[in-house]
Each structure stands twice: as C-alpha cells, then as structure tokens.
Structure 1
Amino acid sequence: MNAILLMLLGLGAMFLGYVFYSKFIAEKIYKLDPNFKTPAHEFEDGVDFVPTNKYVLWGHHFTSVAGAAPIIGPAIAVIWGWVPAFLWVVFGTIFFAGVHDAGAIWASNRNKAKSIGALTDDVVGSRARSLFMIVIFLVLLMVNAVFATAISGLLIKFPSSVVPVWGAIFVALIIGQLIFRKWIGLGTVSILGVIALYALIWAGPSFPVSLPDTFMGLSDKANWIILLFVYAAIASLLPVWMLLQPRDYINGLQLFIGLILLYAAVLISGPELTAPAFNTDLPEGTPSIVPLLFVTIACGAISGFHGLVGSGTTSKQLDKETDARFVGYFGAIGEGSLSLATIIAACAGFATLADWQAVYTSFGQGGVAAFVEGGANILQNGIGLDTEISQTLLTVMAVLFAGTTMDTGLRLQRYIFQEWGAIYNLKWMQKAAPATLLAVGTCLLLAFGAGADGSGGMLIWPLFGTTNQLLAGLTLMVITVMLIRLGRPSYYTLIPLVFLLIMTILALLIQLKGFYNDANWFLFGLDIVILVAAIWIALEAAATMVRVRKERTVEQG
C-alpha cells in the first residue's frame, strides 16, 4: 500500500473528528461557556495564572503533552503491523484523546484550576485522592527521569542537534518578552521565531558539540542528565510567560512545519509501506497485541499525562472557557498527526521488508531511531533534503518536545509536593523552591540510584504505559462523575473509561507474570501497588457513580 493513501485517510478522519465530534462534545456535553470567568482571570498573578492567547496556549499545551512518547510508542507498536497501530492512533485520537484532554481542562477550569488529583477529593473522596496522587507522582517521576535519559542519548548520538536544542531556549526567552510586553504582533513574532529555530538547525551540523567522555568522574550521559535537570528546575520556577509559553509555542510551530515537510515529502515521493499490514512473523518474546497495543501507544491515542498538563498548567492560563476545545481537542489532533507521521516514517522509510526486519528484531526495538532514520530517508527522497540536515531536523523535533515535557513535568511534580504540603499542613513544602528541590531530588535519585550513568529511570519505564493509561482512565472517571452530577450524557466518557481500565488491568496482570518469571521483585512489587490502586479507585468511582445517579433520581422525583 502507498503511504499517501494512509496519510490522507488518517489526516482526513482526524480533521472531520475536530470539525464535527469536538463541536458536539464542546457544546452538548461540556457546554463550554464563553462568559464563564476562568481561574486565569480570577486568580491572575503573572506567574502561574496568566490569561493567554489561545494559539499561544495551544502551543504550550500541545508541546508539553507531545514529548517523545508519540514517537516512541507508535514506532515500537508497528512491530504488530501498521494496520493496528494506525487504527488505534486515529480512532483513539478522535474518540478518546480529544474528549479526555478537553474534559480535563474543563473539569479543572470549573473547579478553580485544581489539578486532577486534588479534584478527585471533591468528586470521589479522600481515599481515592490519596491513591490517585501516588499514581500521578509515579507517572511524573517516570516521565522526567526517562525523558532526561532519552534526550541525553540523542544529544550524544547526534552532536549536530546540541546547538539548535539549547539555542532554542534563548530564542524562547526573547520571544517571551516580545509577546508578553506586546512590542510587536504575534504573527511577526512567530515568523521571526521560526526563522531563528531553523537557522539554528541549519547551523547545527557545522558546529557539533560533544561533552568529554568523562568529567568529574561522570560520563557524558550523566553530565547531560544533570544539566537537563538544572535547566528544568530553573524553567519550572520562572513565570510561565517568560519561558514555558514561548518555548512551547514556537516549538509547536516548528513541529507543524516539520510535519508539513515530512508529509510533503510523502506526497512527492509516494513511498510504499514496506512493513507488513499485520505482522505474522513476530520475533520471539513479542507480547500479545491485546492488551499491549493499547498501553504501548499512549501519547498519540490517549495519555493520562495530558490530563495532568490540562489540569495542572493549561487550565491556569485559559482566557475563555470555549478555548478548551481548540487547546485540548485540537492539541490531541496535533499529537495524533505526529503519531501518524511516525507510523509512516517507521513503515515506509525503509527500502525493503528485510531492512525493516533488521531493525525490529525484538519487541521494544524501533523507537526514536526508527523515526529519525526512516523519516530522513523520506525527506531526502521526497524533497532532496540532505541526510544529515534531515536527521538533525527530526532529532531536534524529538528532543525539543521531550525537553518541553520535562519543563512542564517538573513544574507539575512541584505542584504535587505543594499539594501534599497543603494536605498535611507542611508549610515549608508549600513553597516553590523547596518543592522544586524535592521534585528534582526524587528524579535524580531514581536516575542515579541504579548506576553512575544516570539511566536508572529506565528501571521503572516498563510500567510507564500501564500507569499512564490507568491515569487516563482515572481522569475520565472524574469527568464522568461530574457529568452525571450535572445530569448530562456520560457515555462519551464512560465507554473510553471502561475500555482503558480493562486494557490497563489486563496489561498489569500480564506484566506481573513476566516480572515474577524474571524474578524482578522491584517491578513485581510496584506492579502490585499500581494494580491495587487501579482496582480500588475503580470500585470507589463505580460506587460514587451509582450513588450520584440515585441522588439525581430522588431529586427528580
């Protein structure tokens, strides 16, 4: 099959989903009100609560939730064939992710911009909140520690990406001042920012940067990880308008230009999908497609991390409630289009089936490397872009999104510690600086606890997919209970909720058996904790839904 047809089907379906389905959800289910006073206006402080232009906010939200996961997950999942990955990305984006992301923003916006964890206390109960906060903390810990490892690896493998990656920070700081102080219009700022970013990408191969193999007794990988966390800590304490918003906004524009180039190259070169539609020759040890497909592809179909961003930072910057449709649902569409591009790059970017099979020798292979290699081949064949420039472009895309996710993730982790400080009346923990130090400290403890190279975060990465999808299900649970209390149709969130909980619990049970057989007692124990939390919260939510329905029945008559 030709990749052009796959591209048109996928993008066309997602476009129709945004035009029609998101409009229905926004107007009939969430009933977004343009006159509702958002927390960004009610609590405006110039630091976290900042009313923001919806296009700038979309850039923040989209690039914060995108990260490297919508590249890694699909590029691994195509080992089962491109058809299952394609269907889950497209239908998951339309009926799961968009509803979830917009719903998380709406729910938080209607409750003084509370995070989804804190909101659980009001909607379900204190026990569910305590368990939910643990799940949230684990997801953030995994994201921050693992993305730092992934970024450091890419910076080492592609030294041409170092200048554009770090240069983008200085571009964002300038853009932030221009936008916030309104010295020039947003359109002009956008053009200047994109030109600056692509100039850095063009210059990258001419000025490759590598750290010493060892410095102060640490490897180059470890030193990159430390530098990344120092940067993320500073970024998480700065006002959102100064770095977080402009960096995410300009990265969002850069991604869409990169996607346009990649999709244009597909249209021009018309590559064939060399990977199988359904892979019947799976490598030994590849797990069952059900339920593992639905936790391997999280970001790009539906991801619990999106709910953390939507309720943690995005809701604090929402200018009008109706912007939640564009920021949340269209943000999910953007991520779905990135996952679709990843599937095409990983399945049509190799000359032959044998070349593809040489990469996918076992489950877990592929990832960012397959996206960069396959995408670079398509760009070179389609628009004649030099291979090294193509690799730099795609690597910078992956690194910048992983980096912006770290920025937001560490800020969210700081919020978690501050919320714990409020819950347990620890005033020192409610302050930004100590909470940030705790967030960074726990990440570094995980990263360096298993070795001096700083890649300890990979220890718990096998549980990221299941924990992340559990979080998505729990976020949909909170939204569903709110809808029932308001007397609105809840099936549009309840069906995805039930599906995700079933797939997640099945995946946790399969992984539990694998950890037991491998005698991996650390992950075995952690899997049990997450499994118990999932079942416990699901039961509490079910009881709450039944109780709320009965209360409404009594009220009505």
Structure 2
Amino acid sequence: MSTTVLVVLGLLIYGIMYVAYGKKLQTHLVKADSKNPTPAHRLKDGVDFVPTNRWVLFGHHFASIAGAGPIVGPAIAMAWGWIPALAWIWVGNVFIGAVHDYLSLMASVRHDGKSIQWIAGKVMKKRTGVVFEWFVLFVLVLVVAAFGAILGNMFNGDPRVPSSNIFTLIAAVILGQILYKTKINFNVATIIGIILLIVALWMGSMFPIRLSADNAMNYKLWMVALGVYIIMASALPVWVLLQPRDYLNSFLLVAGVVIGGIAFLVGMKSLEMPGYTIWSAPVISGKPSPFWPLVPLIIACGSLSGFHALVGSGTSSKQLDNEQSGLLVGYGTMFTEGFLSTIVVCAVGGFGFAILGEEASKPLQESATAFANGYVGAINAVGGPAGIFSKAYGHGVNAILGLPKDAMTLLAGMWVSAFAMTTLDTTNRLARYTIMELAEPIQHKSPSFYKIVTNPWVASLIPAFLGLWLAWTGQWNLLWPAFSGANQMLASIAMMTAAVWVSRYLQSSKLYQLTITIPALFLWLTVSLALVWYMIYAVPTFSGFKAFIIGAMTAIMLVLNVMLLIDYFAVKNAPLPKGAKQRA
C-alpha cells in the first residue's frame, strides 16, 4: 500500500462524512441558528467569555485538543501494524470522535457555556455531576502529568524546541495586543502574526536553550519552568496569551499537515512497515497487549478524546461567536486531527526503517512477530514515538519534495511540543474551572475558604503541582496508558451525557439516539476492560510511590465510571425535569 492511496482515502472519508453526517447533525438534530445569542455575547466579560472570530477559535480549539496525542499514539500503535491503527483512527473519528466533540460543544453553548460535567448533573442526577467533576479532575491531573513528561523529554533531546516555544510565546503576546488593543484589520494582524511565528522559529533554531548540562537536572528545571508558565497562562485573561498562541500554533500545524499531505500524496511511497503484525504485541509495559480492548490506551486523541469535551464545553463554548460556527470548530477540528494521525502513519510506516538505521531495523524486518516484539524498544533509541515521527517526517518531506531535512524535522518537533504546551495550559485552565465548580457547595458554608480555593491563581496552582509532581521522574511510559485510558473513558461518559441531552432536551428521533448511544456504550465497555487489564498486568511492573498513586487513581476512576453508567441507565428514559428546556 502506498502513502498516496492512504492520503486520498483519508481525505475522501473526512470530506464525505463532514457533508453527509456532520451537516445533518447541525441542521436536523441541533438545529443551530445564527440568530440565537451565544454565551460569548450574553455573558461577555473580557476574560473567559469573549466573542471570537471563528477561524481564530478554530485555531484555539484545534491547538488545544491536538496536543501530542494524535502523533504519539499512532506512532506507538504501529507495533500492531498500520492497518489496525488506521482502522481505529478513521472509524473512531467518524462514529465517535467528531460527534462527541460537536455535541459537547453545542450542549455547553445551550447551557450558558457550562462544562459537560455540569450538564451531566442537570440532564441526569445531581450526584452524576459531582461524581463526573471528580472524575474529570483526576483526568486533568493525568493530562498535565503525561504531557509534562513528554515535553520535558523533548526539551532534553533538542534544545531548539524549548527556545522556539519561548519565542513563540512572546510572538503570541504581541499578536494578542494587536488583535484586541488596536484597530488593525484582522487579516493584516494575521499576516503580522505569521511573520512573528516564522521569526520565532528562526530565533529558536539560532539560540537553543539548555538549563543544565546534566540531563536529569535539565528535565527537572524545565518541569519547574513549565509549572510557572501553565499557572500564569491559565489564570490570565484568555485573549492575552491562550487564544493568540493557539491561533499561531494552528498555522504551524496546518502548514505541517499541508506539506506532509502533499508529500505523501504525490510521493507514491510504499509503506515498508507491516500492515499487520500480531494481535498481542508487547506495547504496554513489555507485556503482550491485545489490540482490543487495549488500543484506546495507546491511540487516544487521534481517534477520539474525552479531553475534547472538556475543551469544547470549557473554553470554546465561551468564545463561540455564532451557533453556525460550531460545526467547523467542534466537528471539523476532529477530522483535521484524524488527518494528522493519518500523516503520522504514512511518515512512520514509509520512512521509519530509514530513521532507525540498518543495524536496528534489520532484526525488525525478519518477520511480523519480530517487528511487533522489537518495535517499541527500537524507537526509544531515536527519541521515542515523538522522535521517530519528527525524524521520519523530515526525512520523507526532504526525499519527496526536496525541502531541508533539518528544518522539516524541527517543524515536526515543534508540532509535538507546541501542542503539548497548548494542552498543558488549556488543561490547567479547565482544572481551575473544575475546582471552582466542585467548591460551589461550600460557598455559603465557608465563604472565606471558598474565596481562597476559587482564587484563579490558587485554583491554577493545585493541578499544576499535582500533575508535574507525577511527571517529575519523566516516566511517560507509565503515564501515557493511564492518561489515555482515563481520557477515553471520559469520552464514553461525555458521549452518554450527550445522548441523554439529545433525547431529553432536543427530543430527537430514536435513530439519532441510537447512533450516539451504541458507540458510547461500546467505548465504555472497551475502555473499562482495558483499564482492568492495565491494573492487573501493567501497574504491578512499575515501582515507587507514584506508581501506587497512578494505580489508586485508576481504581477510583473505574469505580466512578460504574457509578456514572448506573446513573445513565437510571435516567435515559426518564421524563424531562419540570421547567427544563433547551435555549431557543
């Protein structure tokens, strides 16, 4: 199979389903109306509720949900072969990911920009909302931990990456001032921002930064720096840094996707890595890992992601300028992310052996079983899943289009790091919202304590400290499956919440209800079984107190997950609460 065929197939699937399925959801199910005032207008406060140009919001939402997930997950999943990896990506995108993202966003828009967990408490039970809130908080802490560890290791491996990110942050602050404090035309401001981004990347490559010559100390110093950064970014008004930085990053990712898409479309490069290896490749903790149900613990955001529901209902719903823009922001970004994962599979599958080198790749080519058993260990020598992707991408684009290999490798590396940083600060902001919602019951009982806990800086400090403490030793291989499992479980719960909202508030047809409910329940079963496997086989292989904490968090989330499923079945056919109705 050639990369050209895979790119064409991916584009056809996404294009057809956006028009045939997405548009129907918008027109016939949600009935999005541009005349309905969104929370960004009704509750405008200049901090969180800010009416935003739909392309700027597309950039913010895309950058926030993408992170390193659509790159890291598919790169690891190649151990099973590129056919099962792509099948999970494409099927997950179409039937779960994009639907989940769009409905989470629009349910929040219809409920004053409230979070999906708050909505669960309204459409199901009060207990459901509280349990969901605690579940979400655990997930967010794991997200900070997983992406913090990935960033720290990347900053260690290539000092150009942290310096490029620092200069990009400066460029973002400047762009934010131009967009919101001057009367410069939006298109002109965008051009200025792109020029600033190019200068930032050039400056980063010219002035690489290492905080210590010792790798271990360098990693820990970057953890401290990241902690300071995400606390500031999550507490400051959204337009100061978060929004313009994500807008700039979207150009970085779109440029990479377009360049890679063209290269692998015209390159006719055959995929050298196996299409299918074995069912139980040793992917997690060196243990034989069955593709089902464990694939969601590896391929997370590239296929579907519960974190997207938190972003859509946490920040994007507060910035949506028009209900008609919801399909582009909520649905279109998931398909774009899936196409990015398709590019990852093409890059690694087509050029991975060249990156690993003859000595490392020769044993992998002896048989499909040999490849499956040795792949994960082999890629660690070239920087892990992020490393093999960025190097394979640079090598492939250079070989096909003749563009500079080093520049293209840095571009790919910046994808992973820039969007991991985006995920970090967005996550911390969402965790701040979650802590504030969890503290609501004590608002009148203990107003002084409530005031302290809900202070933006204090509420931002708590998840940042907990997450980066877990990431302190850099064990991404421990954190990634835990994060992915919690993330995918969250997706099933958010999807079930959307199913209840659709049936009780939108009064949808049985067909729409089934197309949302069946995938949600299938995902719930898959991820629950996968996390049970993780608890039994993977967690015991790790040592130390942090491994115990990860295991305990996973066990608690499994219990909460069962409680949420019970609440779902208890209310799915119950009548709508008296006086409740969707916002017209």
TM-score after normalising by structure 2: 0.88
Are the structure 2 counterparts of residues 534 and 189 from structure 1 closer, same or farther at C-alpha, using a change threshold of 3 Å?
same
Q: Which residue number in structure 2 is paired with residue 464 of structure 1?
A: 483
Greater Cα offset, 261-270 or 149-158: 261-270
Q: Among 348, 351, 369, which residue is 1:349 paired with? A: 351
Match in the other structure for 1:488: 508
Name the CA distance, whole Å, in 1 between partners of 2:538 and 2:287.
14
The separation in 2 between residues aligned to 1:516 and 1:259, in whole angstroms, is 36
| Aligned partner letter, 1:110 | R
Q: Are residues 187 and 274 of structure 1, via their aligned partners in 2, closer, same or farther at CA, if it must alter by over 3 Å?
A: same
Report the CA distance between 1:275 and its aligned residue: 1.0
Matched with 1:423 is 441
Q: How does 1:134-153 map to 2 (within 5 A)?
A: 134-153=134-153
Mapping of residues 44-443 of structure 1, within 5 Å: 44-213=44-213, 219-280=217-278, 282=281, 285-351=287-353, 354=362, 357=371, 360-362=375-377, 366-425=384-443, 426-443=450-467
Query: Could you tell me how far 1:359 is from its partner in structure 2?
Result: 6.8
Q: Distance in 2 between matches of 1:385 and 1:320?
A: 40
Match 1:529 to one of 556, 564, 575: 556
Q: CA deviation at 1:136?
A: 0.6
Map Cα deviations across residues 376-413 of structure 1 (whole Å, 9 max, x no partner): 11011012233322221111111100011111111111
Point out the more displaced range, 192-201 or 466-475: 192-201
SS in 2 for 1:286: strand
> How does 1:443-462 map onto structure 2 within 5 Å?
443-448=467-472, 453=473, 455=474, 459-462=478-481
Pairwise CA distance, 1:469: 0.9
State the aligned residue count: 545
Q: Specify whether residues 136 and 503 from structure 1 end up closer, same or farther in structure 2 by C-alpha distance, changes over 3 A only.
A: same
1:515–1:523 CA contact under 8 A, matched in 2: no
* Structure 2, unpaired ranges of 5+: 355-360, 366-370, 444-449, 579-584
- Name the counterpart of 1:512: 535
Q: What amino acid is aligned across from residue 428 of structure 1 in structure 2?
A: I
Amino acid at match of 1:377: H
Sort the Cα spacing of 1:381 and 1:456 in 2 relative to 1 into closer, same or farther, 3 A.
closer
Contact kept? 1:142, 1:457, Cα under 8 Å:
no
Cα displacement (A) at 1:118: 1.6
Instruction: Report if the CA contact (8 A) 2:75-2:344 is conserved.
Output: yes
1:193, 1:517 → 2: CA distance?
49
Give the corresponding residue for 1:555.
Answer: none
> 1:207 Cα shift?
2.5
Distance 1:190 1:253 in 2: 10
Paired AA for residue 522 in structure 2 = F
Q: Deviations over 1:237-266 (max 9, x none)?
A: 221112111111111111111111112222
Runs of 5+ consecutive residues of structure 1 not aligned to the other structure: 552-557
In the aligned structure 2, how far is the partner of 1:421 from the partner of 1:214? 42
Whether contact under 8 Å (2:61, 2:333) holds in the other structure is yes
Question: Is the 1:359–1:370 contact (alpha carbons within 8 Å) kept by the matching residues of 2?
Answer: no
Structure 2 Cα separation of the partners of residues 155 and 518 of structure 1:
27
> SS state of the match for residue 322, structure 1?
helix
Instruction: Judge conservation of contact 1:515–1:524 (CA < 8 Å) in 2.
Output: no
CA contact (8 A) 1:418 1:429 kept: yes
Query: Equivalent residue of 1:219, what SS?
Result: helix
The whole-number CA distance in structure 1 between the counterparts of 2:122 and 2:91 is 31
Question: 2:144 touches 2:468 (CA, 8 Å); kept in 1?
Answer: no
State the AA in 1 paired with 2:13: A
Distance 1:47 1:380, change over 3 A: same
Following TM superposition, by how much is the alpha carbon of 1:226 offset from its aligned partner in structure 2, in angstroms?
0.8
Q: State the one-letter code of the partner of 2:73.
A: G
Query: In 1, Cα distance between the equivalents of 2:249 and 2:150?
Result: 18
Q: 2:237 & 2:25 partners in 1: Cα distance? A: 32
For the residue of structure 1 that corresponds to 2:211, the secondary structure is coil
TM-score by length of 1: 0.92
How far, CA to CA, are the matches of 2:266 and 2:476 in structure 1?
41
2:575 is paired with a residue whose SS is helix
- Counterpart of 2:411, as a letter, is L
AA aligned opposite 2:161: S
Shift of 1:516: 6.9
Per-residue CA shift, 1:439-474, capped at 9, x if unaligned?
A: 3232344334xxxx4x36765443212211110111
Distance in 2 (alpha carbons) for counterparts of 1:411 and 1:517: 33
Structure 2 residue aligned with 1:554: none
| In structure 2, distance between residues paired with 1:295 and 1:304 | 13
Q: Tell whether the 8 Å contact from 1:447 to 1:457 is kept in structure 2 after alignment.
A: yes
- CA RMSD in angstroms comes to 2.4
| Alignment partners' CA distance in 2, 1:516 and 1:342 | 28
Percentage of pairs with the same residue: 33
